[in-house]
Amino acid sequence: MTELVLESPRARGLFVLTAHPEGCRVLAQRQIERAAAAFEKPLSGAQGKTALVLGSTSFGYGSSTAIALRQAGFERIIGIGYETAPAFRGEKLAMSSPGWYLTDTLHAGDEAFQTYLGDAFAATTRDRVVADLRAQGVAIDLVVYSVAAPRRSHLGQEWNSSLLVMGEPLEVLGLAYKSGELEPIRVEAADALAVENTVRVMGGDDLEMWVSALLYSGLAAEGMTVTALSYIGPELEPLRRMYWDGALGAAKKHIDATTAALDARVAASVGGKAFTVMNPAVVTAASVAIPAMLRYVSDYLGCDDAGKGVYADPLDIGIDFTRALYGEGEPWRGQLDEAGRLRLDGRELEPGLQATIAELWSEGEPGPPPEITAQGLKRFKREYAMLYGWQVEGVDYSAPYAVDPELGEGQRVFDLLG
């Protein structure tokens, strides 16, 4: 193993190339501790169960849901994520993903975790996971679909997703990450092909294939629950146009249609259920990439700091998810909306908070943003850095740490990409 001092990240634009191993370890450990405190006693409905979490390896919704499920009593977590090993240029660290260090931490000292590093969209990944589950005699009680990807290949075809709107182009004041100023942005309109391609990547095709594979191979446990994480967002017009009414929303509507169809199938086959889960907006790489989202999430964080709303991070939502599904009295039944989706986005959509955000948007002029937005952006930047293990309180960035911990079969990690 190589020990190095990493004082600051290598980055290309906003894209952070090198994660900090100790920062990621500390963050993951804190999440485990928070989840353990939330579930002082295991939930009886969760005990002994096995989850398949697709998209489990970044500091996003998949891993935090997995951590919460485990602390609530799940016996086994089968994770899948797209991660590659740290890479060097000469003696220097050239690339390292937070997912590598997060996976290392989750696996160290907890045999419940079994992770596949591979392309979830590839039939070979699915075949391998199914073969291993068969050999181990393990059936799946819960599927959590949390993949977020820019492209997908299937049977020799490749699709790219896009962040475009429908109808007329959208012109709006966004927030510039670097300068922190409000500035006009223009989002072009998608044509039918761009929408179709986005649906093929971020829609329900892949989820449908995973669930079919479990059903056909007899690996769906009695009562299996299938969930797909999604986002609907506020009614604030630019956000609605950008997301739910845009190309991405078309894909998310396809997810809704897929879970509705799967609900009937898993009910008939194993007495199970399937639904979409509407999660709130959180700080991720996607929030920087999606136009207008950075301004909106910064407003949300700023409002939380100013006591005008409550921000929930992915672990809060992972805990809410676990309680909804496995808490006493099947709480999820009372948390479905009229379309049958589990709603965990109540804090974000709280009317008072939304009214404050709408007011901030109605007043904006190009240039310095309102104080709440500026404060929110500061916090956004800190939380964004933390997704890569940087700016984590209590970590000594002048000390050397092992930057290439081994993840292999000994750690129950199966690298299908290497």
Ligand X SMILES: NC(=O)c1ccc[n+]([C@@H]2O[C@H](COP(=O)([O-])OP(=O)(O)OC[C@H]3O[C@@H](n4cnc5c(N)ncnc54)[C@H](O)[C@@H]3O)[C@@H](O)[C@H]2O)c1
Residues that bind ligand X in the complex, under the rule CB under 6 A = 55-58, 60-62, 80-83, 99, 119-121, 146-149, 229-231, 279, 281-282, 284-287
Cβ-based nearer residue to ligand X, 144 or 182: 144
DSSP annotation of 409 reads G
Burial class, 1, CB count within 10 angstroms (exposed 0-12 / middle 13-18 / buried 19+): exposed
Cβ-based nearer residue to ligand X, 121 or 244: 121
Taking phi first (over 0 means left), then psi (-120 to 50 degrees means alpha), and beta for anything else, what does residue 230 get? beta
Least CB distance to ligand X at residue 149 (A): 3
Q: With CA atoms as reference, report the closest residue to 358 among 242, 238, 241, 278.
A: 238
Cβ-based nearer residue to ligand X, 82 or 326: 82
Cβ-based nearer residue to ligand X, 134 or 151: 151
Least CB distance to ligand X at residue 171 (A): 23
Q: With CA atoms as reference, report the closest residue to 101 among 174, 48, 31.
A: 31
Dihedral of the alpha carbons of 109, 413, 383, 311, in degrees to the nearest 10: -80
Set 116, 145, 243, 326: catalytic member: 243
- Report the alpha-carbon distance of residue 209 to residue 26 in Å, rounded: 36
Least CB distance to ligand X at residue 122 (A): 8
Residue type, 390: W
- Report the alpha-carbon distance of residue 360 to residue 267 in Å, rounded: 46
Cβ-based nearer residue to ligand X, 97 or 411: 97
Cβ-based nearer residue to ligand X, 270 or 320: 320
Least CB distance to ligand X at residue 260 (A): 17
Structure-token pair, residue 304: 């939380």
145 three-class SS = strand
- Report the alpha-carbon distance of residue 65 to residue 58 in Å, rounded: 11
Active site residue 101: no
Query: Residue number with the shortest CB distance to ligand X?
Result: 60
Q: With CA atoms as reference, report the closest residue to 143 among 258, 6, 299, 294.
A: 258
Least CB distance to ligand X at residue 120 (A): 3
DSSP characters over 272-341: -EEEEEEPPP--SHHHHHSTTHHHHHHHHHHHHHTTSS----HHHHHHHHHHHHHSTT-GGGGGB-TTS-
Least CB distance to ligand X at residue 67 (A): 13
Residues with a known catalytic role: 243
